[in-house]
Amino acid sequence: MSVGIVQEQTVTLNVDLRLESGRILGPITQVYESYGTLNADASNAILVAHAWTGSAHLAGRSFEGDTKVGWWDAIVGPGKLLDTDRYFVICPNVIGSCYGSTGPASINPKTGKRYNLTFPVITVRDMVRAQALLLDHLGINKLVTVLGGSMGGMQALEWGTQFPDRVASIIALATTAAPSPQAISLNAIARWAIFNDPDWKKGEYRKNPKDGLALARGIGHITFLSDESMQSKFGRRYSAKDGFFDFFGKFEVERYLNYNGYNFVDRFDTNSFLYLAKALDLYDVSLGYESLHEALDQIRCPVQLFAFSSDWLYPPYQTEIMATVLKELGKEVEYHLISSPYGHDAFLLEHETFAPQLSGFLEKVQPPGRQKL
């Protein structure tokens, strides 16, 4: 059953947030969507954290006739995995994004102009601290869980380490404690594509530098897939529109990347893409700690980790390292390796592969009898 029409909500907090860089950001606008009803003692809230180019539009439709549902609509709603008859589910758009929360495309109140590259470098930890301010505003002191995949999983880890008293559990899918040099190098090439587009103008563009951003997105999109999924979806099929020996002829996989790259230009801001990519590259859950052990020792709640067999962006061994450390620390942790051909995007495409384990985990964290609607 669908959650139906959902209106995004906007809150501007007149605060000064000290960032990891030492710079101050404020006031802060945050866009979010919520589903279900917050109970009397605000004890049934779940925060879902989105990935790199995601948004607050987690589930449902934005208006009558909308043909596109939220990015994780399959798991949010009455009777679904995140049952909105039971939980109050909230999905905030991260700072740094271009979907309403304060980011480089926002107007700097001090100058009356877009921030562009005057926007400070932000980290995943900064995103989570901003979310904590939003929850303060909403009167939510503790979450049943923080759930997310990829960059959303990083946010879940940060909630567990930075706000251990405010989460009853964390669930991280297809994520890492720190991106590998390979992951960073792929983002570096994406940045070059944008920097070398003459329309970028060092961030002072009037319209998106479409060629650079489309190429950058194409590079990123390859990392979300797997060899098996690309074989299944495209094989070596050559475009029926092109002659086989046409120099500019394309394989179907090329046409797919071209379509997705240029389609992305119409919905995402280039500077936001760059800032969020930088936040991904800088991410390290042990930042400020002596070791991964010391960082993960801050967590005081049950942890559930999922990795997907064909994910080569954040491969399973990276999740297994975290699971091993948590076990060595005596933490309550579950690790599930899901066999999937869909690569990094499996957490978005195959919810049925992890739903039983996730549902059982939530039942242990907050049994139905504790609900006070």
Beta partners for residue 251, in sequence order: 238
Residue-wise pLDDT for 8-64, tens only, equals 999 999 999 999 999 999 999 999 999 999 999 999 999 999 999 999 999 999 999
Q: Which member of 226, 311, 340, 345 is catalytic?
A: 311
Q: Is 150 one of the annotated active-site residues of the chain?
A: yes
Q: Transcribe 112-146 into DSSP letters.
A: TEE-GGGSPP--HHHHHHHHHHHHHHHT---BSEE
Confidence tier at 372 by pLDDT (50, 70, 90)? very low
How much of the chain exceeds pLDDT 70, in percent? 98
What lies within 8 Å, CB to CB, of 171 at 6+ separation is: 145, 146, 147, 148, 156, 303, 304, 305, 306, 358, 361
Structure tokens at 248: 């500019």
Residue-wise pLDDT for 326-370, tens only, equals 999 999 999 999 999 999 999 999 999 999 999 999 999 987 754
pLDDT (0 to 100) of residue 369 = 58
Q: Transcribe 43-112 into DSSP letters.
A: --EEEEE--TT--S--SSBSSTT-----TTGGGEETTSSEETTT-EEEEEPPTT-SSSSSSTTSEETTTT
Predicted confidence (pLDDT) at residue 371 exceeds the cutoff of 60: no
Q: Which member of 55, 150, 272, 310 is catalytic?
A: 150
Name which of 339, 343, 208, 185 is nearest 263 in CA terms.
208
* Cα maximum dimension of the chain: 68
pLDDT (0 to 100) of residue 162 = 98
Measure the CA–CA gap between 93 and 325, rounded to whole angstroms: 30
Q: Which residue has the tokens 């109050």?
A: 88
Q: Under DSSP, is residue 5 helix (H, G, I), strand (E, B) or coil? A: strand
Q: Is 293 one of the annotated active-site residues of the chain?
A: no
Q: Which residue has the tokens 């999109």?
A: 221
Predicted confidence (pLDDT) at residue 222 exceeds the cutoff of 70: yes
Residue-wise pLDDT for 261-287, tens only, equals 999 999 999 999 999 999 999 999 999
pLDDT (0 to 100) of residue 229 = 94
Confidence tier at 373 by pLDDT (50, 70, 90)? very low
Beta partners for residue 30, in sequence order: 11
Residue 313 CA neighbour count, 13 Å, CB half: 25
Residue-wise pLDDT for 123-177, tens only, equals 999 999 999 999 999 999 999 999 999 999 999 999 999 999 999 999 999 999 9
